Amino acid sequence: MAGSDNGIFSSVRPRRLSDSAVDQILKLVHDGQLPPGSKFPPERELIVSLSVSRTSLREAIRILETMGVLRVVPGRGTWVREDYTQPRLGTSVEWLPQHVEDVLQLVEMKDLLETKAAGLAAERATPDQLIELSVQLQRYRDAVTEGDAETLMDADMKFHQTIAAASGNRFLADAIANLDPFVLRTRRAILSIPGRPERVVGEHQAVLEAILARNPQAAAKAMQVHDRRAAQGVKSAIEAGRIISRGTPADRTEDA
């Protein structure tokens, strides 16, 4: 991977045909023609208006669902998710599995900022913030047990947001929050890697224990381990073809 530029990354760079459908749909969403919460027009209409094949359209919808842009209810239809927000930091991250390098850079940036935030949180977290962290860890643990993907995502996000706030540094917290539109998709993809949600429980627990122990070094280290394992999870999943399989639809592992 890291040592060779002809490794796994080169094999995932080529864009698939359905990309144009992905891009077109994203444009409709971003332009407000299909705003968050809106229902998709019938498939026939989309095929005509986007000039794509049915296969490409379905593939695009599947991709956008994985990205957290769309919600598909079998037999009922497809909606733009209510909670979908357009990325604010440019538009380079459109689809995670085809932008592995962006994802890894994002995780690297999270690692830099959140490691610092976790260390500061160990020094500065208020009693309320400590309680909130415990609550979110428990929510996360319960969601893993129940296989509740949405709560899992939410609890993970709130756990990290609380640590950012608990750093007591507004600018650091803002810098982390600015990554949120990207992190949303990255988190969804990472948490859909089989086995990853279960491992996160222990990683979050290590972060929380260090913060509770008011040990900045241990908290920073635990957060670093968490983010690096996420990056490793992405790399391994790609190697195993779990996120990406060249030219064929990726496995559905959303509720893993």
Binding footprint of Zn ion, residue count (CB under 5 A): 1
Nearer to Zn ion, 8 or 206 (CB): 206
Task: Annotate each residue in 143-172 with x if it binds Zn ion (CB under 5 A) or - if it does not, as one string.
Answer: -------------x----------------
CB of 1 to Zn ion, least distance (A): 22
> How many Cβ atoms sit within 10 Å of the Cβ of residue 73?
9
As to burial, measured by CB atoms within 10 angstroms (0-12 exposed, 13-18 middle, 19+ buried), residue 109 is middle
CB of 230 to Zn ion, least distance (A): 7
Residue nearest Zn ion, Cβ-based: 156
Task: Annotate each residue in 110-149 with x if it binds Zn ion (CB under 5 A) or - if it does not, as one string.
Answer: ----------------------------------------
Nearer to Zn ion, 40 or 140 (CB): 140
CB of 44 to Zn ion, least distance (A): 41
* Crossing angle of helices 170-177 and 149-166, rounded to 10°: 150
Nearer to Zn ion, 21 or 165 (CB): 165
Question: What gap in Å lies between CA 113 and CA 171, rounded to an integer?
Answer: 11
DSSP SS3 for 187: helix
> How many Cβ atoms sit within 10 Å of the Cβ of residue 15?
12
Query: Comparing C-alpha atoms, which of 131, 213, 216 is closest to residue 167?
Result: 216
Question: What gap in Å lies between CA 143 and CA 222, rounded to an integer?
Answer: 22
Positions touching Zn ion (CB under 5 A) are: 156
